[in-house]
Structure 1
Amino acid sequence: MPLAVAAALPTVAQAESLEERVARLEAQLAEKEASKSSTEYSFGGYIKLDAIYSSYSSGERATATVGDDFLVASTIPVGGSSGDTHLDMQAKHSRLWFKTKTQTDAGEISSHIEMDFGVNQIGDERISNSSVSRVRHAFVKWQYDKNSSLLAGQSWTTFFNVASLPETLDFVGPVGTIFERQAQIRWTQGVGNGAVMFALENPSSGLLSGGAAVGGSAYDNNSMPDVVLRYDGKAGDLAYSVAAVGREIAYKEASTTFTGDDSTMAYGVSFSGKWMLGKDDIKFQLNAGTLGRYMGLQTYRDGVIEANGDIELIDAVGGFIAYRHFWSDKLRSSFVYSATSADNPQSVQGGSTPESYNSIHTNLLYSPTAKLTLGAEYIFAEKTIEGQGANGEDSGDMDRVQFSVKYDF
Structure 2
Amino acid sequence: MSKPRHKLLTVAALTIGTTGTLAQAQDQGTQSELDALRARVEALEAGSEPASTGGGDFSIGGTSVDIYGYLKADFYYDTDFRQGDTAFPNAIGEPANATDGSFGATARQSRLGFRTSTDTGIGNVSGRLELDLFGSGGTAELRLRHASVQLGDNWLIGQDWTNFMPLSQYPTTVEFNGPVGIAFARVPQIRYTHSWDALTFSASIEENNTTSDDPTFTSALSYDTDLFSARVAGLAGTVRTGGQDIDQSGFTLSGAVRPWAGGLFQATYVDGEALGPLLIGAGNAAVGGQANDVSGYTLEFRQDIGERWNVGIAYGREDYDLATSTGTLAFDELETIHLNAFYKVTDDLTFSAEYFIGERNDVATGRTFDSDRIQLAVQLNF
- TM (normalized to structure 1)? 0.73
Deviation at 1:47, TM superposition (A): 0.5
Deviation at 1:120, TM superposition (A): 3.1
Query: Secondary structure in 1 aligned to 2:135?
Result: coil
Deviation at 1:366, TM superposition (A): 0.7
Contact 1:374 1:405 in 2 (8 A): yes
RMSD of aligned alpha carbons: 2.3
Q: How does 1:151-230 map to 2 (within 5 A)?
A: 151-205=156-210, 220=211, 222-230=212-220
Equivalent of residue 354 in structure 2, options 373, 377, 400: 377
Equivalent of residue 295 in structure 1, options 262, 273, 279: 279
Contact 2:109 2:132 in 1 (8 A): yes
Q: Distance in 2 between matches of 1:204 and 1:329?
A: 40
Q: Distance in 2 between matches of 1:198 and 1:97?
A: 25
CA offsets, 1:118-144, max 9 Å, x none? 03358xxxxxxx62111010111101x
Q: 1:328 corresponds to which letter in structure 2? A: G
Q: 1:134 corresponds to which letter in structure 2? A: R
**In the alignment, structure 1 residue 133 sits paired with structure 2 residue 142:** yes
Equivalent of residue 401 in structure 1, options 367, 374, 378: 374
CA offsets, 1:37-74, max 9 Å, x none? 92211001100000000012xxx54xxxxx31012221
Deviation at 1:79, TM superposition (A): 6.5
**In the alignment, structure 1 residue 108 sits paired with structure 2 residue 117:** no
Q: Distance in 2 between matches of 1:119 and 1:285?
A: 29
CA offsets, 1:254-309, max 9 Å, x none? xxxxxxx32232211101122123222112111111212111151x111113xxxx
Q: Distance in 1 between matches of 2:130 and 2:172?
A: 20
Q: 2:236 corresponds to which letter in structure 1? A: G
Equivalent of residue 44 in structure 1, options 65, 68, 71: 68
Contact 1:79 1:394 in 2 (8 A): no
Q: 1:358 corresponds to which letter in structure 2? A: E
Q: Which runs of 5+ in 1 are unaligned?
A: 1-34, 62-66, 123-129, 206-219, 253-260, 306-310
Q: How does 1:236-315 map to 2 (within 5 A)?
A: 237-251=227-241, 261-277=243-259, 278-290=261-273, 291-298=275-282, 300-305=283-288, 311-315=289-293
Q: Distance in 2 between matches of 1:151 and 1:243?
A: 18
Equivalent of residue 83 in structure 1, options 92, 99, 121: 99
Q: Distance in 1 between matches of 2:126 and 2:362?
A: 46
* Residues 264/166 of structure 1: CA separation in 2 closer, same or farther (3 Å cut): closer
The residue number in structure 2 matching 1:213 is none
Query: Secondary structure in 2 aligned to 1:369?
Result: coil
**Which has the larger displacement, 181-190 or 288-297?**
288-297
Contact 1:176 1:320 in 2 (8 A): yes
Equivalent of residue 53 in structure 1, options 57, 77, 85: 77
Q: Distance in 2 between matches of 1:107 and 1:367?
A: 38
Query: Secondary structure in 1 aligned to 2:214?
Result: coil
The residue number in structure 2 matching 1:72 is 88
* Residues 204/333 of structure 1: CA separation in 2 closer, same or farther (3 Å cut): closer
Look at both structures and tell me which one has the larger radius of gyration over its CA atoms: 1
CA offsets, 1:296-344, max 9 Å, x none? 151x111113xxxxx2111111111111111111011011111111111
Q: Distance in 2 between matches of 1:384 and 1:192?
A: 45
CA offsets, 1:79-113, max 9 Å, x none? 79963110001101000001101122211110000
* Residues 40/119 of structure 1: CA separation in 2 closer, same or farther (3 Å cut): same
* Residues 204/369 of structure 1: CA separation in 2 closer, same or farther (3 Å cut): closer
CA offsets, 1:321-371, max 9 Å, x none? 1111111110110111111111117x98xx932110111111121102121
Number of residue pairs aligned between Structure 1 and Structure 2: 319
Q: Distance in 2 between matches of 1:68 and 1:203?
A: 26
Query: Secondary structure in 2 aligned to 1:174?
Result: coil
CA offsets, 1:180-230, max 9 Å, x none? 11111111112342111111111254xxxxxxxxxxxxxx4x321111111
Query: Secondary structure in 2 aligned to 1:93?
Result: coil
The residue number in structure 2 matching 1:7 is none
Q: 1:97 corresponds to which letter in structure 2? A: G
Contact 1:275 1:282 in 2 (8 A): yes
Q: 1:374 corresponds to which letter in structure 2? A: F
The residue number in structure 2 matching 1:339 is 317
* Residues 184/297 of structure 1: CA separation in 2 closer, same or farther (3 Å cut): farther
Query: Secondary structure in 2 aligned to 1:117?
Result: strand
The residue number in structure 2 matching 1:361 is 338
Q: 1:153 corresponds to which letter in structure 2? A: G
Contact 1:169 1:377 in 2 (8 A): yes
Q: Which runs of 5+ in 2 are unaligned?
A: 1-58
